[in-house]
Every structure is written in C-alpha cells, then in structure tokens.
C-alpha cells in the first residue's frame, strides 16, 4: 500500500526581472511506500534537490524533510541571490 509522505518542503528564492527577491513556497508531497522513504540517504536528498534546482533554473533552496511531524533533515542549497552569491542557510 502506498502512503502519502511529506518529503520535501522547498523554499525557493528567485530573483525577478527587476532584481527584487521573490519567495515562492512549494510543498512537495510524494506518494511512496513508507519503507522506501526510510531508505533515502542525505546524499540522495542532495541529488534530488540539486537536480530540481538545475531543472527549474533556481539559484537556491532551503529544504526540510519531515517524517511523522518531525524534521529529520534540513539543509540550504545554492545561493539566495545569483548577484550576491550569499549562501542559503
């Protein structure tokens, strides 16, 4: 049986054409077997996030993996702004 699991909460920082920061909130919900979720390593999460950043041409994201209402992994990826190079934390 597949159960709905909240896997990633992405906060994507993007720049608009005028350079003002725009914050978009995305909750990514995946349907996956619970056992599979438990097998995701930090490296696999890193790969998924980095692929998403590249695919959607996004400078950076803050990610939290939530399981049973508890944050089990959180990390910043990329930069807040391509202009400043300030890292996401």
Q: For 20-50, what is each residue's pLDDT tens digit?
A: 333 343 444 444 445 455 567 888 888 888 8
Burial class (CB in 10 A: 0-12, 13-18, 19+), 10: buried
Q: For 51-61, what is each residue's pLDDT tens digit?
A: 878 887 888 88
Tokens standing for residue 39: 């097998």
63 in Cβ contact with 49 (< 8 Å): yes
Measured at the CA of 52, the angle between CA 89 and CA 43, to 5 degrees, comes to 65
Q: For 60-80, what is each residue's pLDDT tens digit?
A: 888 877 777 788 888 999 898
């Amino acid at each position: 049986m597949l159960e709905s699991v909240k896997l990633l909460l992405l906060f994507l920082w993007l720049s608009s054409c005028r350079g003002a920061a725009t914050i978009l909130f995305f909750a990514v919900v995946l349907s996956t077997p619970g056992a599979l979720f438990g097998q995701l390593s930090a490296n696999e999460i890193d790969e998924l996030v980095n692929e998403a950043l590249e695919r959607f041409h996004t400078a950076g994201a803050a990610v939290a993996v939530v399981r049973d209402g508890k944050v089990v992994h959180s990390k910043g990826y990329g930069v807040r702004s391509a202009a400043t190079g300030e890292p996401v934390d």
